[in-house]
Structure 1
Amino acid sequence: MLYRYGKDNNGRPVKKAVVYTREEHLIPAYKIDPDAFKIVQRLKDNGYTAYIVGGAVRDLLIGKTPKDFDIVTDATPSKIKRIFRNSRIIGRRFRLVHVIFGLKIFEVSTFRSTIDGSVGNSFGTIDEDVMRRDFTINALYYDPILEQVIDYVGGVRDIKKSILRPVIPVDKIFVEDPVRMLRAIKYSSTTDCQMAWSLRRKIKHSAHLLSPVSPSRLTEEMLKIINSGHSFEIVSECLATDLYMYLQPSATAMMFNDPQFEKNYLINLKSLDELVSKDKDARLGKKLVFLIKDFILTLTDWKKEILNSSSVGEIYIKTWTECRNFVLPMNPQRTELEYAIRTSLREIGISIKLPKKVLSQPVSQKKDTAGKKKGSGRKKKSKKVNDAV
């Protein structure tokens, strides 16, 4: 075991980080994405420091193969851009660089300072950058060239002990970014790292902080839950800590009022997790079915609706409107929600085979009794949200 030293205020050497060698961390070289390796190598060849950071290191240490490899460096975004022609700078205040290799995109960020807290945008050093990371298991740096894990906060020890421990003080971590509460539950469920009772209590008492979070961020987090393969565990814990009412308020209200609906909803999430484990690339619409199918059953007397086959178009439009409101504030891609609704109706016994112009008409555009449309507004393009993991 090696150590990285720094200096205290009096100039005396102090231990800053533990450095784990290949024999100690046992990360297999073949699990490192070769293009991520190239990025680190090229940054180093140009005189900069660079590491694989965060969730990728965590996954490597617990034996998983990371889906994404994020990289951090002391090079500024403009300097990174000069080194990699296959890159683009994104963001305005919090600037990052995306380095592109074919279909793969690698996020390369610059060390950030703690001068403005854990969400500031000033550049800093690795000693500061580590103190901005949310939890110790995500605050690890890996040098694939030297095959060393740099640990400033005891993250390797916490992974071995299966503990989820925050880096940022508990009285600040969720105030500065409320979405960290959702991440805490997700990490606990997907890594088997247990939260301390005090941390879980803090999350429950801070749940209201999610209220002003933008729908786009909540959509991103909800899609991560849907695609995680652990949605049952995550949603169950979100319900227990009062977070789910901000992710899916309509579903939460119905579960509160009807224990049977809650039971069915959670059973459907288990089926969703089975689908993801078998086919992780299944389209989002197939996954959304498990969130809306039991809600659709509550909308009407479907036996009577099936007998009135002439109203199929009207049934679809009304069902789409209700489902769209049901999943708010999540805003999935419209075509995927349409697919989920048609699939759910088909399971009931109603086959939707409508012209494209009917399937894509705005929800506000209704038909009168003569079958003519009221209003002539054009369809607005809905913002697409990537099927994030």
Structure 2
Amino acid sequence: MQPHIRTQLQIIPRDQHNVSRRDISPNALRVLYRLREGGFEAYLVGGAVRDLLIGGHPKDFDVATNATPEEVKGLFRNCRLIGRRFRLAHVVYGREIIEVATFRANSDDGSGDRELHEGGRVLRDNVYGSIEDDAVRRDFTANALYYAIEDFSVRDYTGGFDDVRNRLMRLIGDPETRYREDPVRMLRAVRLAAKLDFEIETETAKPIAQLAPLLREAAPARLFEECLKLFLSGHAVKSFLGLERHGLLPALLPETAAALKSNRSGALRRMLLEGLKGTDTRVANDEPVSPAFLFALLLWPAYCRALITLQAQGVHAAEAQRRAADRVTVHQLETIALPRRFSLPMQEIWLLQSRFSQRQRKRVFRTLAHPRFRAAFDFLNLRMAASEEHADDVAFWREAQTDPAHALAAADAHRDAESSEEGDAPRKRRRRRRKTAHGGE
């Protein structure tokens, strides 16, 4: 336990907080009561308590106990044990999982069940301890609050109750040490602040920009999951602005950050923010958002910059588009493990953009039939936030979806009118030669 961390217990009685059993999952209550009946300590803990205190509606309910994972499994037939880095018990009720974690200590007992990387990152953490130990090893004070079922009080060991009331995200312990233990905590700070409309406390925020490169040490698959939480939970705009403000964008999306910095007009940033705003709206309306579309948006500035570079080197347009898409994808995979089931559709969304300026009949029908057409067209609409030059394309393809013949006829008439204004002869239509009875010409 770190000596400079305040661990004085504050018990907030039921009449001084708003957490009610009516707002807690009945299955979580079952777990709490059965553990208590089995002679163990058991508390609702973490994000659920935090969210209930600010009037939210938690989706997940976690329990902390002094029972070991094996003892929890002995009490619940519907329990399975998971994890090696953090050994946990999952009590399963249909589609709902109540996660039960044993109180963990913040020190190494010599058993080898707590293992640190040379840089301070926690590789394994299965040394068990008391509730006081458990509170200290949690990340933020707002997540270290315990709801006691026996007297309906909230127990606070680190000052989290006041921080929640003041809407502050504050790390427990020395911020630099805690970030080195787990660099993803920097992203969690930004994400939770965006989700809860909290401010990141000054000392907690101070080292983030300097330590941002540590994110390269995090597992790319874990960063992919963290990105989904950042941008597909209904607070994507605030999350993006938080990443920018605290210097995390270059570490998470390096080529996008470089492209936005070099785009003096700010058009690419406007488009990206408009797209994230639309994502938030869809989440709020309970509509799906594909990770392929999300990453097509997040990496579009990088793709545009790579494309311009290749074209300036004399690479043919179609080849430059393919190479730019591949280059951006491969480089981003070094940081975030974007699965192929999302990276390939993402690239298709990009490559379809060049087809929207084409009006030849066969190409129009081929584009309309493409399985990624709808997503690509939605993306084209977003590009209008960056430049009005796409307005004609948007209008044409909007009509082409309902009446392609009329859209093509209007496009032909428009081209003929432009030719007449420039003094050119109207285009002659090629006459097809009649085929012979044998199919020859």
How would you bin the TM-score normalised by the shorter chain?
Answer: 0.7 to 0.9
In structure 1, what is the equivalent of residue 408 of structure 2?
none
Q: Match for 2:78 among 62, 79, 86?
A: 86
2: CA distance, partners of 1:344 / 1:38: 50
The amino acid of 2:170's aligned partner reads: R
1:260-290 CA-partner distances (Å, limit 9, x unpaired): 3233223322222222222265443444443
In structure 1, what is the equivalent of residue 152 of structure 2?
147
2: CA distance, partners of 1:343 / 1:354: 10
In structure 1, what is the equivalent of residue 250 of structure 2?
245
Q: State the shift of 1:113 in Å.
A: 0.6
Q: State the shift of 1:226 in Å.
A: 1.6
Which of 273-282 and 336-345 deviates more? Answer: 336-345
Structure 2 residue 119 is matched with structure 1 residue 113: no
Q: Secondary structure at the match of 1:48?
A: coil
Q: Match for 1:38 among 30, 33, 49?
A: 30
2: CA distance, partners of 1:280 / 1:60: 25
In structure 2, what is the equivalent of residue 215 of structure 1?
220
TM-score, length of structure 2 as denominator length: 0.68
Structure 2 residue 327 is matched with structure 1 residue 335: no
Q: Match for 2:12 among 20, 28, 51?
A: 20
2: CA distance, partners of 1:23 / 1:349: 64
1:144-175 CA-partner distances (Å, limit 9, x unpaired): 45322111112111111122222122241112
Distance change (3 Å), C-alpha of 1:152 and 1:291: same
2: CA distance, partners of 1:234 / 1:159: 19
Q: Secondary structure at the match of 2:105?
A: coil
1:108-142 CA-partner distances (Å, limit 9, x unpaired): 11000111389442000101100001111111011
Which of 72-81 and 224-233 deviates more? Answer: 224-233
TM-score, length of structure 1 as denominator length: 0.76
Structure 2 residue 130 is matched with structure 1 residue 138: no
* 1:263-342 correspondence runs (5 A): 263-279=270-286, 281-293=288-300, 321-322=326-327, 324-325=329-330, 327-328=332-333, 329-342=335-348
Q: Match for 2:96 among 91, 104, 108?
A: 104
The amino acid of 1:278's aligned partner reads: N
Q: Match for 1:184 among 186, 189, 202?
A: 189
1: CA distance, partners of 2:145 / 2:207: 24
The amino acid of 2:218's aligned partner reads: V
2: CA distance, partners of 1:202 / 1:274: 33
Q: State the shift of 1:317 in Å.
A: 6.5
Q: Which runs of 5+ in 2 are unaligned?
A: 1-6, 109-113, 115-120, 309-316, 357-366, 372-441
Q: State the shift of 1:321 in Å.
A: 2.8
The amino acid of 1:27's aligned partner reads: V
Distance change (3 Å), C-alpha of 1:83 and 1:203: same
Distance change (3 Å), C-alpha of 1:352 and 1:206: farther
Q: Which runs of 5+ in 1 are unaligned?
A: 1-14, 302-310, 356-389
Q: State the shift of 1:16 in Å.
A: 3.8
In structure 2, what is the equivalent of residue 10 of structure 1?
none
2: CA distance, partners of 1:288 / 1:171: 30
Distance change (3 Å), C-alpha of 1:37 and 1:317: farther
Q: Match for 2:237 among 232, 235, 241?
A: 232
1: CA distance, partners of 2:180 / 2:22: 39
In structure 2, what is the equivalent of residue 175 of structure 1?
180
Which of 315-324 and 205-214 deviates more? Answer: 315-324
The amino acid of 1:270's aligned partner reads: K
The amino acid of 1:325's aligned partner reads: V
2: CA distance, partners of 1:57 / 1:31: 10
Contact 1:271–1:290 (Cα < 8 Å) also in 2: no
Q: Secondary structure at the match of 2:240?
A: helix
Q: Secondary structure at the match of 2:9?
A: strand
Q: State the shift of 1:316 in Å.
A: 9.2
Contact 2:232–2:289 (Cα < 8 Å) also in 1: no
* Larger-Rg structure: 2
2: CA distance, partners of 1:210 / 1:156: 30
Contact 1:19–1:148 (Cα < 8 Å) also in 2: yes
1: CA distance, partners of 2:43 / 2:197: 25
1: CA distance, partners of 2:25 / 2:288: 20
Which of 225-234 and 54-63 deviates more? Answer: 225-234
